[in-house]
């Protein structure tokens, strides 16, 4: 009769012991000497520069297959890094902290990012446009306002968060939640959180497998991102010397889960590209050239992935561990500005050290001339987010197929060339385009440009919102870009009605509304339930 009491007592003792160990772990101070901190931070920024320059010529050359061509690269090509979004975007976020402090509100990070002079793409360019449309974080990254929510964007620009948060994954989670939602949501945010956590872990851990495992604890384990990275690690353990065999298995299961490139082999989703970073780190075995070569040969966004992989390796091993010819070329660029920023390699190191010191103090650590003492943290990820639950592409329909499209009014045709139509457009108030489809979601694509105005969007007869198609920034006028997305509709027939308003913002040169495509989605499993790799069958 006393067994339940004994069991409960033992449970309490065990729980108390585990809790005590956890508390002890969280209060333990880990020391990084000043010279080691500087060397690791220099290694992180140098790795970003070297890795992105290595992969620049291969970006999206290989999609759905591995890159087997020779990679023509020489250390003098590192100067290309001064022009790359992998670096200049996050330097803008550091400039935001320089002006408004570490705890600057998300809207300030979005503002400086939106008003910068460089080009942006995918989730980033939508995050920029959303700022000028008065859509601010976290809504600016939400799939209702950003159809690129799961794309790689935040993943390639979150490295600095990890570098200023050595051993402090909860600071990584906090900053990633704030900045990542400028342009991403769900797995798109988790990609940046995971990569930043890799850097945070690389300051202390001595084993790359452990670094990857620990970094995964910074994101919800039920997320698809975590599931994919766990698969990548499983495949590495199964094929420890054959990254191509692991790549093929991963491709079969996850290669067609990208919302942005749905229906093609093109994949800019954060998850799959994140796995390629992991492949570079694990199969690279600590060798810089091998690390960035494997991350590059995996394909897809193959300048961003070696940049992140080599940045993590740079923190892990330090700047001094890079080959002398790499170091010499990076140092030759020490005082060169990254475009549209006031940052150089030298300044990036100094300001990163400054913020690492400040965040150490804010999180209960100690700072002295000798170095920093970090109060180590156990990661506490937030509640899971899912950008596109069970949404898969069914088909695409252009306005020229007349399959589901109906136009009322004075719609004209814009041509891509003399004979190839690109979109239909109108500027007349009250002109309508009606798209009827069967599915659970739809994206309406069109053009952004200087001569664009506003349109009202209705779903199944009910007003949804007004869309402003004006855009004039960094010489970009995106065509066939998402204007409107709605998902989680009931199964069945639906209509989207677009009504031209003949209205514009003051700076716009016209009131045109361009429509180029309707993308129909249905509900289904992107990954078949019970999917097994070949070695599991």
Written as six digits, the tokens of 471 are 């855009």
Written as six digits, the tokens of 334 are 């020490």
Residue 198 contacts residue 233 (beta carbons within 8 Å):
no
Instruction: Dump pLDDT digits (tens) for 362-408.
Output: 999 999 999 999 999 999 999 999 999 999 999 999 999 989 999 99
Q: Taking residues 155-168, report their average pLDDT.
A: 98
Instruction: Dump pLDDT digits (tens) for 63-111.
Output: 999 999 999 999 999 999 999 999 999 999 999 999 999 999 999 999 9
Written as six digits, the tokens of 139 are 């809504």
Instruction: Dump pLDDT digits (tens) for 451-492.
Output: 999 999 999 999 999 999 999 876 677 888 999 999 999 999
Give me the pLDDT at residue 62, please: 94
- Which residues, including other chains, have CB under 8 Å from residue 188's CB and lie 6 or more apart? 123, 141, 148, 149, 150, 151, 152, 153, 154, 155, 180, 270, 387
Q: Please state the pTM of the whole predicted model.
A: 0.93
Which residues in 12-37 are b (16+ Cβ under 10 Å) and which e? Answer: eeeeeeeeeeeeeeeeeeeebeeeeb
Which residues in 494-505 are b (16+ Cβ under 10 Å) and which e? Answer: bebbbbbbbebe
Tell the residue number behind the tokens 């067609």, with chain if given. 256
Give me the pLDDT at residue 261, please: 75
Instruction: Dump pLDDT digits (tens) for 188-216.
Output: 999 999 999 999 999 999 999 999 999 99
Give the span between the Cα atoms of 319 and 163, in whole angstroms: 14
Fold type of domain 38-61+86-375: ADP-ribosylglycohydrolase fold (1.10.4080)
Q: Is the pLDDT of residue 4 over 50?
A: no
Q: Taking residues 337-356, report their average pLDDT.
A: 98
Q: Taking residues 107-125, report their average pLDDT.
A: 95
Q: Taking residues 109-137, report their average pLDDT.
A: 96
Q: Is the pLDDT of residue 2 over 60?
A: no
As a whole-number percent, the residues of the chain with pLDDT over 90 amount to 88
Give me the pLDDT at residue 3, please: 34
Written as six digits, the tokens of 463 are 């007003």
Q: Count other C-beta atoms under 10 Å from residue 124's C-beta.
A: 26
- The two domains 38-61+86-375 and 391-523 share their CATH topology (first three levels equal): no
Give me the pLDDT at residue 27, please: 58
Q: Is the pLDDT of residue 437 over 60?
A: yes
Instruction: Dump pLDDT digits (tens) for 49-68.
Output: 999 999 999 999 999 999 99
Give me the pLDDT at residue 400, please: 95
In this prediction, residue 274 has a pLDDT band, given cuts at 50, 70 and 90, of: very high
Give me the pLDDT at residue 530, please: 86
Q: Is 2.60.120.260 the CATH number for 391-523?
A: yes
Give me the pLDDT at residue 1, please: 38
Give Cα separations from 38 to 247, 332, 418 (angstroms). 35, 18, 58
Domain ranges of the chain: 38-61+86-375, 391-523
Q: Is the pLDDT of residue 12 over 80?
A: no
Give me the pLDDT at residue 474, please: 65
């Amino acid at each position: 009769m006393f067994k339940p009491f004994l069991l409960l007592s033992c449970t309490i003792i065990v729980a108390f012991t585990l809790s005590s160990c956890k508390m002890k772990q969280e209060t333990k101070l880990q020391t990084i000497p000043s010279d080691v901190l500087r060397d690791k931070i220099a290694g992180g920024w140098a790795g970003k520069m070297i890795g992105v320059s290595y992969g620049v010529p291969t970006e999206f050359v290989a999609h759905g297959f591995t890159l087997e061509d020779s990679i023509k690269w020489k250390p003098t090509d590192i100067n290309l890094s001064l022009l790359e979004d992998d670096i200049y975007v996050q330097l803008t976020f550091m400039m935001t902290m320089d002006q408004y402090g570490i705890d600057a509100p998300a809207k300030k990070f979005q503002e400086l990012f939106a008003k910068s002079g460089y080009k942006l793409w995918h989730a980033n360019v939508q995050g920029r446009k959303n700022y000028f449309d008065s859509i601010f974080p976290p809504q600016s990254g939400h799939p209702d306002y950003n159809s690129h929510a799961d794309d790689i964007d935040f993943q390639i620009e979150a490295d600095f968060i990890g570098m200023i948060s050595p051993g402090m994954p909860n600071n990584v989670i906090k900053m990633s939640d704030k900045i990542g939602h400028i342009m991403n949501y769900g797995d798109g945010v988790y990609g940046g959180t995971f990569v930043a956590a890799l850097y945070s872990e690389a300051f202390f851990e001595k084993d790359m497998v452990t670094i990857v495992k620990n970094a995964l604890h910074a994101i919800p384990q039920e997320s698809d991102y975590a599931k994919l990275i766990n698969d990548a690690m499983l495949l590495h353990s199964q094929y420890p010397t054959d990254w191509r065999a692991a790549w093929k298995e991963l491709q079969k299961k996850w290669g067609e889960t990208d919302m942005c490139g749905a229906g093609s082999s093109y994949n800019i989703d954060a998850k799959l590209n994140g796995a390629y970073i992991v492949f570079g780190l694990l199969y690279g075995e600590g060798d810089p050239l091998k690390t960035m070569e494997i991350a590059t040969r995996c394909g897809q966004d193959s300048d961003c992935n070696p940049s992140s992989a080599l940045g993590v390796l740079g923190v892990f091993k330090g700047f001094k561990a890079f080959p002398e010819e790499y170091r010499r070329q990076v140092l030759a660029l020490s005082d060169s500005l990254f475009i549209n920023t006031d940052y150089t390699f030298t300044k990036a190191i100094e300001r990163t050290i400054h913020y690492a010191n400040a965040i150490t103090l804010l999180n209960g650590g100690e700072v002295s001339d000798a170095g920093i003492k970090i109060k180590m943290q156990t990661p506490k990820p937030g509640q899971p987010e899912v950008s596109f639950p069970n949404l898969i592409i069914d088909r695409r329909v252009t306005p020229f197929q007349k399959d589901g499209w109906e136009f009322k009014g004075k719609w004209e045709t814009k041509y891509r060339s003399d004979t190839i139509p690109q979109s239909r457009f109108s500027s007349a108030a009250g002109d309508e385009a009606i798209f009827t489809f069967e599915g659970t979601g739809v994206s309406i694509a069109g053009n952004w440009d200087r001569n664009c105005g506003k349109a009202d969007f209705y779903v199944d007869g009910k007003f949804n919102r007004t869309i402003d198609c004006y855009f004039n920034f960094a010489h970009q006028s995106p065509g066939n870009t998402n204007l409107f997305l709605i998902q989680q509709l009931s199964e069945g027939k639906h209509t989207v009605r677009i009504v031209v308003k003949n209205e514009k913002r003051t700076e716009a040169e016209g009131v045109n509304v361009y429509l180029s495509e309707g993308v129909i989605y249905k509900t289904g499993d992107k990954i078949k339930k019970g999917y097994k790799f070949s070695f599991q069958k």
